[in-house]
Structure 1
């Protein structure tokens, strides 16, 4: 199959934000490399604002209000919105039954879903083509396989958020301009995936000794706020705490100005990677081969393999295996994080 067989493509990836950031790399690559292709991306409305620049979608979007409307009303609303649209291909990049039901609103000739190893929750009922097995277990490798299986050979992820001058100016007003910046994004969506406040504080203090200014970022949730405030209190006046104070677009602008980012498996980690800002990803619960920072795997600090081995003994952990020990992240050694930080400083002449 060549891309000429699919001159109109609808891509469905709703959540989570980190996965949407990775998916954007493929959506945008098709948009930029194949401008003749009619394109639309169905995405959860909670995350769509990241992909809108100066009031205009960077790629054509169809946001769905699942959180507000519920699934049934969202399906009906999407059917109404897309009733006069036809596509050569639907790329259903999400295996959930929720995504599959939403996919019924899309009229498409070729309906691509995951290969048999990755397909779940009855996705096979809603598709008529399977993608080729991805080259690696990484989520983004799967997205690449969707594009290549539908004829976009040689596609590589390409991120461009079209950050505006106003957004960059706003971000610059929030952080010092005369120092190297370490952004600490300490929180993920799940508490067990977060490193300790003490660990983040120690790497922050080490960065301060190296002449960096520390900026802490996070969302408005109580989990993130508590963790960010705990770190900020320990670093006292030597940091800027932006937790809960930025939109997704301004968060992207702030990270784009960073020298280094440190984060567990989170949207901020993927955002840094997509902006080509060196990031130290921290892992214990999920396999970094599946969810690591795409562009900066060499700097990650992971205890995932040893934590999985402790639970499974002689059994081999499948690429999807999730570590059950909720204290696993506490096993990450501050010295390993400092080593990774020093390597970045050396590689990027930040000393």
Structure 2
């Protein structure tokens, strides 16, 4: 087919989901090198992906409310796209999409649409269940006559970020990064359990590093973990940026985290992920490339809290119930740590 002259991508958040869009961008660029995609992305998320070459970025400041939407409208004034790929179903994103003029408006199938999504699109991606989020996003190129057959990230990491990471993590001591906090608080593990795994890694000769953003929630969790640790880790909470975190992940063979943005950032650079899953399904939203090191209690959570196996609940259901993460035991995580370390030749 004739390459479109212009394509607009709408996926503003969150960090993990934004990383899932990057392979789609690479697919579009590989097929249509002369078509520069325009990507409407969140203010924070742009700090991670905003230097992707060959992409025109428009920033949406969700904190500014409707004024932020109007700013996007101003940035797009006078533009009309051949196609809008509307990859976010939240009400705010559906309203934001009205500021985008496009001949074709492609969105989610009926099962995955909500909050009026069907009212702002004209076409839908293929209806599928059992897909990872990245594959669902990748399927947005299919109505355009393409197929995502390769998954490639190559998110740029500046040299200064690599230099900073080398200062924090010098030498070749194997490093376990621990990012303990999801913004979805019911996905978070108990601080003393993180501490027990961290102490174990430390006794095995690993350098253990606590990481996280500057938010009060992340600082509070980090402080609680530090109090519970018998062996003090290096605490870099709030000291990095998204790019510096990416650089650290290139130097660390392993990350311990719940379902959160850093999980997917790690996946993009090949850092193995000890993912903690009970509230969410790792087969839908876990680390895309390698989920062998995740602890998966999703089915057990479904049986306990919903009274039925995970196979009987809608794909992608969240089981964010108080205490659900307590289904994950320390010994299970240590077993996955040891198995991953052996796989890496670092046991």
Give yes or no for the alignment of 1:186 onto 2:180: yes
Output the CA distance in 1 between the equivalents of 2:297 and 2:340: 20
Alpha-carbon distance in 2 for matches of 1:215, 1:32: 38
State the shift of 1:179 in Å: 0.7
TM-score by length of 2: 0.93
Equivalent of residue 176 in structure 1, options 166, 170, 176:
170
CA contact (8 A) 1:18 1:270 kept: yes
Structure 2: how far apart are the matches of 1:75 and 1:118?
24
Which residue of the other structure, out of 75, 82, 90, is the alignment partner of 1:81? 75
Partner of 1:250: 244
Q: Residue 62 in 1 paired to residue 58 in 2?
A: yes
Structure 2: where are the runs of 5+ without partners? none
Deviations 1:32-72 (A, max 9, x none): 5532222011011122111234xx767321111221x212x
Q: Does 1:49 align with 2:44?
A: no
Runs of 4+ off more than 4 Å: none
Contact 2:218 2:237 in 1 (8 A): yes
Query: Aligned partners of 1:322 and 1:165: how far apart in 2?
Result: 38
Paired position in structure 2 for 1:114: 108
Find 1:36's aligned residue among 25, 31, 34: 34
Which of 332, 336, 339 does residue 340 from structure 1 map onto?
336
Task: Report how far residue 157 of structure 1 moved.
Answer: 2.8
Q: Does 1:101 align with 2:95?
A: yes
Kept in 2, the 8 Å contact 1:51–1:58? The answer is no
Deviation at residue 13 of structure 1 after TM alignment: 0.4
Change (3 A) 1:336 1:33: farther
Among 13, 20, 23, the alignment partner of 2:21 is 23
Q: Which residue of structure 2 aligns with residue 124 of structure 1?
A: 118
Change (3 A) 1:173 1:30: same
How far apart are the structure 2 equivalents of 1:57 and 1:225? Answer: 34
Q: Distance in 2 between matches of 1:8 and 1:216?
A: 43
1:13 correspondence with 2:7: no
Higher mean alpha-carbon deviation, 277-286 vs 220-229, is at 220-229
**1:112-161 C-alpha deviation (Å, 9 max, x unpaired):** 00011111111111111111124633221210111223222234331112
- Taking the aligned partners of 1:52 and 1:125, their CA distance within structure 2 comes to 29
**2:259/2:286 contact within 8 Å kept:** yes
* CA distance in structure 1 between the partners assigned to 2:270 and 2:330 by the alignment: 24
1:231-246 maps to which residues of 2 (within 5 A)?
A: 231-235=225-229, 238-246=232-240
SS class of match (2:106): strand
TM-score, length-normalised on structure 1? 0.92
Segment of structure 1 superposing worse, 57-66 or 173-182: 57-66
1:330 corresponding residue in structure 2: 326
1:87-123 alpha-carbon deviations (Å, 9 max, x no partner)? 1111000011211121122221111000111111111
Over aligned residues, Cα RMSD in angstroms? 1.9
Q: CA, structure 1 residues 58+333, in 2 after alignment: closer, same or farther (shift >3 Å)?
A: farther
Instruction: Number of aligned residue pairs: give it.
Output: 345
